[in-house]
Every structure is written in C-alpha cells, then in structure tokens.
Amino acid sequence: MSANLLIVDDSTSMRQMVAFALSSGGFHVREAEDGQAALDIARNERFDAVVTDVNMPRMDGIQLIRELRQLPSYKFTPLLMLTTESGGDKKAEGKAAGATGWLVKPFDPEQLLATVRKVLA
C-alpha cells in the first residue's frame, strides 16, 4: 500500500511538478492550492505526509502546519515545508509551528523524491 501524500502550493506549476515527481515515485498524491484548502482536505482524509509551500494566500504553510499539529491524526505525521534559501527565519518559524523539516527551493524532482522517501521509510 503506497503512502498517501498531500501537496500544498498556490503555484500551479510547482504543485504539478511536485505532484508529478512524487506520483512517479509511486506515491498517491492529492493537491491543494492553499493552506485553508489543504486543512479542509486533511480533516477528512488521512495523509502519511504533507509537503507544503510557505507563502500562500488565505492560509500560509506555517499556519497550516500549526493547525495540522492540533489534529490528533497529524500529531506525528511528517510535515515538510518548501522554502527558499532566503527564508532562514521561515525555517525556524516553521519548526516552531511543528514542521518536521524543509526542502530548499530550487530542488530537482529526484532530490524531492529521495527526501520524501527517507522521511517515510
């Protein structure tokens, strides 16, 4: 049974790229276009890991992580942030909100897949 992943990014191209990379790695993937949408989906469906962008309208990735950690079924789930190099304080903020870790953009699809595999191993 392959793992179920939730991809959250307001950029369609990034989201599709991430989804493509992960689904070609054999994962089940669902997409959400911002934190609020992701939270709504995550409340009704269980995911083995969540990969989220940080800067998004409506609800950003950090608030999403904070909210997800409040849900019993996401207490220990790997929650990964996609950040950029310049977002140093975002990493700390994300960690404080309960993020498992981060991936620094730019990353290539293989790198992403490898990281997610490691987290879910």
Q: For 59, left (φ over 0), alpha (ψ -120 to 50), or beta?
A: beta
From candidates 2, 43, 46, 92, binder to another protein by CB under 8 A: 92
Site for another protein contains 64 (CB under 8 A): no
Closest CA to 60 of 89, 31, 37: 37
Q: Least separation, in Å, of the C-beta of 28 and another protein?
A: 18
Residue that has been written with the tokens 């911002």 in this structure: 34
Residues in the chain: 121
Report yes or no: 76 and 47 within 8 Å, Cβ to Cβ. Answer: no
From candidates 5, 56, 61, 116, binder to another protein by CB under 8 A: 56
Contacting residues toward another protein, per CB under 8 A: 10-14, 16-17, 20-21, 24, 34, 49, 53, 55-59, 63, 66, 69, 75-79, 82, 84-86, 88, 92-93, 95-102, 105-110, 118-119, 121
